[in-house]
Structure 1
Amino acid sequence: MEYTGADVKGRIFVSCKKEKHYSRELILDQHALVYVFAGTLELSYADQVHRFTRGTTLLIPRNQLGRMAKLPAEDVPFRSLSILFPEALLRKFYAAQAENPAEGKWHGHLALEKHPLLESLFSSLLPYFEMRDELPPELAGIKIAECLTVLDACNPQVKRLLSAFHEPGKINLADFMEQHFLYNLPLQKLAYLTGRSLSTFKKDFKKVYQTTPRRWLTRKRLEHAHYQIAVKKRKPTEIFIDAGFENLSHFSFVFKKHFGYNPTQVQ
């Protein structure tokens, strides 16, 4: 899932889920701040799962690949407030400061400790959402500037994350693919995240795996799905999305084509 199209003034919006909600791929094109009012927010990376409960403030950097789950708390719906920070706004904000933080790469999210200033800021925003799900751009711009000032006062690490604008650099292709093959992303996006053009990505992939990315991804996902069904005793309906497939019918078709029997026939 991607949040795109936010204008230069940024966006502030609320999320309210009465039922468990699981995203597909989560990869933001802007840094984001999330505050959990109720329920549990779950972030899953390649080999890690992190859970954040009521009162947690979380910064998620751009281009961080993962999945997100929004889990209600018993009879209370999951509720969160999110703020997206466009690059132009962040550059303008930090350029006006006497000590502009040096840019650099940032890996992973940043969970902030509870702070009265943060809680006051988020509480002041809630009444606006009685009128609409997203704040008007004019008001959002004012509140985002206030938010950045508050964040600076709460944690010095915030500047390092929010001022990191580098594009992904060229990384080890095999390491990345082995960790992220379950994410159903276009090849163009996979190439970008490894710091390559699409043509270079395909060329390097061929050198490493002696096959095409699509064939390799399909085989790896099917092997993972077979293990989940045969060993973990999970149902095909439970795992086809996690295994990187768009829908159950397509998953069943390619599974039978590869193994010679349907997913429901796995012993």
Structure 2
Amino acid sequence: MEESSEQIINIQEGSLQKILNALEQYFTGTNSGNIYDFRKGSSHIHLAFYNILEEFELFLLQVVFENSTLVKRLPDNRADIFYLTLIKEGNIYMQYQNQQQYAEAGSSLGIFLHNGLFTLDSSYSPQMNLRSVNIKFSKAAVEKVIPEAIPLLSSLFADNEPKAYHTHISPEVENMIDDLFFYENVDFGSKALVIGRGLELFTLLMSLIKKRLDAKDLHGLHVDDYNRLLEIKNYVLNNLDQKINMDAICLQFGISISKLKRDFKSLFDCSLGQFYTHARMDEAYRRLKTGKYSVMEVGYDLGYQNLSKFSQMFKKVRGVNPKEVVPV
């Protein structure tokens, strides 16, 4: 496999055994007790799994891939199964219908909650350290341990349709995640400590999500909302030389301005205007870096009539003057 090639791993969502079967199909790792470990070259997969209850499982994942890797997660198509992903370190691109969205430790996209109908693939950059806590649970399992959370789940996923939520990791949640990775390596009582802390973390997360929902600070996106937002994103990326016209976009894609602002922020963790500006500067950086274009050509091509304003915005976003990017 060439260094630039991408490896693709197919994993059927469902039981823990299906996940292990998939890993063993692609990697010659070792499976000992509740630990799966694979090391080869600079690639490393470490998965610690804990069955808390039937259909209530906790996973601690640490991974580094030598090459770009796409994990294709095949859905279990169960509306009563839910997945919580908490990014502790690194970043990951969650792919939906061939589009990517970014989730990163320390950002407002650090927690991702979706149901079993919402299919996501995960794209890992080469040589990137990722640590995450993952919890898979069913409504029936939650009802046994935290029955108070059932009305919350019913509210979040009321229509049994593909739906997902993003939110940020609080300092208290961050500390609990640290504890989980620490407890995994203690000499005595490791499993009991991780499970106990894991249940405490899950309870805190449910409480945190409820508070943010009550405060109208949590917005779920239906599958149709995702499709529309991804179309809007592509429209913006294909028209970086034009000024953003919110009214025209809303009219074209059949969405109100208030909903567009709310949904775009929920999915991309920024406003549409911020996304547009950063995308323009990213494209400017890419062109300048090739050495094929002058600062004047790039600025005018991206719709700037005033090159000083282009240079000011470029430095604000990229941290350097555009002339400094052009190869000598």
Q: Which has the higher strand share?
A: 2
Give the TM-score, by structure 2 length: 0.40
| Larger relative contact order, structure 1 or 2 (CA cutoff 8 Å, min sep 6) | 1
Give the TM-score, by structure 1 length: 0.48
Which protein shows a greater Rg? 2
